[in-house]
Amino acid sequence: MKVKSLILTGFGINCEVEMGAAYKNAGAETTVVHFNELINGKYNLQDFDILNFPGGFSFGDDIASGKVMANKIKFKKNSDGKTFLEEIETFLADGKYILGVCNGFQMLTQLGLLPGLSDDYEPQAVLMPNDSQQFEDRWVYCKINSDNSSPFLKGMDVLPLPVRHGEGKLVFKNDSILQKVIENNQIAMQYCDSEGNITDAYPLNPNGSVMSIAAITDPSGQVLGMMPHPEAFLSFYNHPAWNSMKYHGKQLRREQTGQVIFDNIVNELKERRIKKLPDS
């Protein structure tokens, strides 16, 4: 039985095709669903293993990035009288996983699912406009926190990835929340140089995010939110310098691309199922 990945789309989300390709490459069964199809009952979240919030510009970022979409998830009810956020609560209680990239990360912070340190789903962090006051569309390096327990990050060290955002500066509501995130090892990735040295310096840190944070998880490691786009780097040939690297005899392995994040979570779920199988 294949791992089932659900990818949300609609209302300005525009990276669902690339994310679908990433899960297909990882061996998952992928379904791209307009949010209204979930609310109308055409699909059931609980039938899936991974819920994905792709990048894009939901509702044009007219109020704050991800805010309007987050409100629909929090307050719009389905035919059973449940909000999608309530469905997500059940989904996570069953040990399943959520990934949010760029605009998806912004939604997860607006929903209070990240950093996820309280039960009231009030935002404890926000993605603010970049310090550069401009849209950043280029490649960066990310250092992965080896102390973070999330299966999304297994075996990773330094990863080059593209960023495409105007509001990627992660700021926490107060220092107490930031301290808890640090203590819980919820920092997943930080902007760094090509050698893995974490830095606040622009343009290596493209947005001015506190502690150069590029990604965080919730305390359980089930929810990952990140600003860089792993679904935009599924092959060595997606790298902007692939031609030069190939000429000099250097090619990046699969596990050195963004594909590794999708491979990791799909493999984790496959291994979990194998362990549950009865002995023959």
Domain ranges of the chain: 4-276
Could you give the 3-state DSSP secondary structure of residue 141? strand
Closest alpha carbon to 12 in 65, 77, 88: 65
How far apart are alpha carbons 32 and 19 in whole angstroms? 9
CATH class for the region spanning 4-276: alpha beta
- Residue 61, pLDDT above cutoff 80: no
How far apart are alpha carbons 130 and 166 in whole angstroms? 6
- Peptide bond before 240: cis, by omega within 30 degrees of 0? no
106 near 165, Cβ under 8 Å?
no
Residues forming the active site: 102, 229, 231
CA angle 113, 131, 110 (to 5 degrees): 15
Radius of gyration of the chain (CA): 18
Average pLDDT value for the chain? 95
How far apart are alpha carbons 13 and 11 in whole angstroms? 6
Overall average pLDDT of the 217-226 stretch? 98
Residue 118 CB-density burial (10 A; 0-12 exposed, 13-18 middle, 19+ buried) = exposed
- Residue 60, pLDDT above cutoff 90: no
In this prediction the pTM is 0.96
Residue 198 DSSP code: B
pLDDT for position 251: 86
